[in-house]
Amino acid sequence: MTTGDPILQLDNVRFRWPGRASFALTVPELSIANGETVLLLGESGSGKSTLLSLICGTILADAGHVRIAGTDVADLTGGARDRFRAEQIGVIFQQFNLLPFGTVLDNILLPLRFAPSRRERAGDGPTEARRLSTALGLPDMLGAKAASLSVGQQQRVAVARALIGRPPIILADEPTSALDAGSQSAFLDLLFDQVRSHESTLLMVSHDPRLGARFDRILRMEDIARIERQAA
């Protein structure tokens, strides 16, 4: 369900990676509504990861504007941008990026250490972590070390970590790429149930068009962005 103004807006964004084989990405316009679920399709090398980095503010555009909830990320200082990212965006990484020797609870609570408003929204952190882990099929596992978990269990911990504290935007970078069809479907059922209950916006990056039926909208990198490659 979508409501109100766009939660994410890119206008005339351009970014060039320096190097021997220079890579430039241009996004004339991209708008995602509050509460929308969007699948972004693109092959390897199409600029998907660069686009996610621009949205997160881990890299800054050379030109144009990236706005999240009305805030232009380029207007923030480095430290303020890091805090803004922690407050506004939950990220599910392709490789999950869990702390291997931390417990499930440690990993789920990690974003709250850097985001006071998100911590406030979560209420009692351990209680919320327990609720999320139970909802995602991980009851009674908060004390387990992340390194001891199966791939599917690690994936669910990564989702709980992204969702805790109700960030407005969830970015998922190829989170189903290592799963078979049955596990993929079960994972997406859980993810969508939690995203909708949290009233978050979901932008998932994938190369698999078969996932599209679950989303409000499908975007393709070749339709929203231009890539330029030029040898040095």
CA 45 to CA 23: how far, in whole Å?
10
* Mean pLDDT on 73-88: 94
Q: What residue ranges define each of the domains in the chain, with the CATH number in brackets? A: 3-231 (3.40.50.300)
- pTM of the predicted model as reported, rounded to 2 decimal places: 0.90
pLDDT computed for residue 198 by the predictor: 84
- Higher-confidence position of 174 and 65: 65
* Mean pLDDT on 160-174: 93
* Mean pLDDT on 146-152: 91
Confidence class for position 4, pLDDT limits 50, 70, 90: low
DSSP per-residue letters across 159-177: HHHHHTT--SEEEEESTTT
pLDDT computed for residue 91 by the predictor: 92
- What dihedral angle (degrees, nearest 10) is formed by the CA atoms of 132, 136, 138, 143? -30
- Higher-confidence position of 161 and 45: 161
